[in-house]
Amino acid sequence: MKTIIFLVLAIVSGLSFGQNENGVTLTITIPNLSNNDGEASAALYNEATFMKAAPLQTSAAIPKNNAVTLVFENVKPGAYGIITLHDTNGNGRMDFEANGMPKEDYGVSGSGAGFGPPSWSNAEITVGKENMDIEIRM
C-alpha cells in the first residue's frame, strides 16, 4: 500500500513539474545604464497586475560595464508588460524628485515609456512558444 501511495505522489509531482516547464525563457538586456551603482531590476506583469499589483516575476542583478541581463523563466504564452528600474542607491524602490519626476532611470517593454507613467498599451508584448531576447533601453 505504501508503494502505491508513493507512486501516485511521484506521478502527481512529475505532472506538476512538467506543467511549469511548458513556459518559455525571456532574457532581458538593459544595455545603456548610466553607471554600475546599485542594482538593476525587471518586473513582469500581465494586464490585470500592470501598475496595480505585485508582479508575476522579478529579476535583479548588479550592473557590469553599464549593462545587465535579467531572466524570467517558465513564462506562459500571452500578453505581458515589463518595467525595469536602475535602483542606483539600492533602497529597493524608485525615488522621485519633489515635483514627481523620477530620480532613477526606468524602462518599459513594448513601444517604451513615452511621457508620464508607463501604460499597458505602451508596455504590452506578446510572448509565444519560443524563447525571447528583449532589449529595454532606459
- Please check whether residue 123 is in contact with residue 138, taking contact to mean a CB–CB distance below 8 angstroms: no
Helix (H, G, I), strand (E, B) or coil at 5: helix
- Digit-coded pLDDT (tens) for 2-49: 334 343 344 434 444 444 468 999 999 999 999 999 999 999 999 999
Q: Which three cell numbers stand for residue 81?
A: 508588460
**What does the domain layout of the chain look like in residue ranges?**
23-135
- Digit-coded pLDDT (tens) for 46-87: 999 999 999 999 999 999 999 999 999 999 999 999 999 999
Q: Are strands 24-30 and 132-135 parallel, antiparallel or unpaired?
A: parallel
- Looking at residue 94, its amino acid is M
97-135 b/e with 16+ CB inside 10 Å = b? Answer: eeeeeeebbbbbbbeebeeeebbbebbbbebeeeebebe
Q: Is the full-model pTM beyond 0.75?
A: yes
Domain covering 23-135: architecture = Sandwich (2.60)
